[in-house]
Amino acid sequence: MMSDYFSILQCESEDSLSGIIRIQLNPDCRVYQGHFPKEPVSPGVCNIEMIRCCAEYIHHHPIRIQKIKQCKLTALMTPQITPQANVTISLQENEQGVYRLTASICEGETTYMTLKADVADE
């Protein structure tokens, strides 16, 4: 799995359920060789995976996405235009080990992605 898509610069979190993570995108990640040749665009699904990884980082436990209620991709993101961004994570426990994840990727005035998903401890 691509482990070099992004790196975590900073994490502000007061519990294992919510926080804001400052991330940096890696323009040299090989996914950009194919998405797209001559026009690097951060794949939406890689940003969903980045949110999942950030949620794991805050939650201190591996999680799996079971359902995506809604995911809106509201602006095109590229490592050139947006080298860094904030990933905001909020987990609400619905039942034992199952959570509603609400998350967003933003930088400045721009929101790149909002996500509402059901995730579970893995």
Partner 1 sequence: MMYRAEQLYQLIPQRPPIVMVDVVWSATETEAETGLTVTADNIFVRNGHFREPGLIEHIAQSAAAFAGCGTFLRGEEPKLGFIGEIKDCVLNMLPEVGTQLRTHIQLVTEVNGIRLISAETRIEGEMVASCIMKIFLKDDE
CA 96 to centroid of chain Cα atoms: 23
Distance separating alpha carbons of residues 71 and 93, to the nearest angstrom: 20
Distance separating alpha carbons of residues 6 and 69, to the nearest angstrom: 25
- Using the rule CB under 8 A, is 37 a contact of partner 1? yes
Contact residue for partner 1 among 10, 12, 68, 80 (CB under 8 A): 68
Contact residue for partner 1 among 27, 64, 92, 110 (CB under 8 A): 64
- Using the rule CB under 8 A, is 49 a contact of partner 1? yes
Contact residue for partner 1 among 18, 26, 44, 111 (CB under 8 A): 44
- Using the rule CB under 8 A, is 61 a contact of partner 1? no
Q: In the complex, what is the shortest distance from the CB of residue 23 to partner 1, in angstroms, rounded to a whole number? A: 16
- Using the rule CB under 8 A, is 33 a contact of partner 1? yes
Output the CA–CA distances (angstroms, integers) from residue 72 to 34, 45, 115, 117, in the order listed.
23, 11, 7, 12
- Using the rule CB under 8 A, is 23 a contact of partner 1? no
Closest CA to 76 of 116, 9, 12, 25: 25
Q: In the complex, what is the shortest distance from the CB of residue 101 to partner 1, in angstroms, rounded to a whole number? A: 12
Q: Which stretch binds partner 1 (CB under 8 A): 19-27, 58-66, 78-86, 95-103?
A: 58-66
Closest CA to 94 of 62, 116, 61, 71: 116
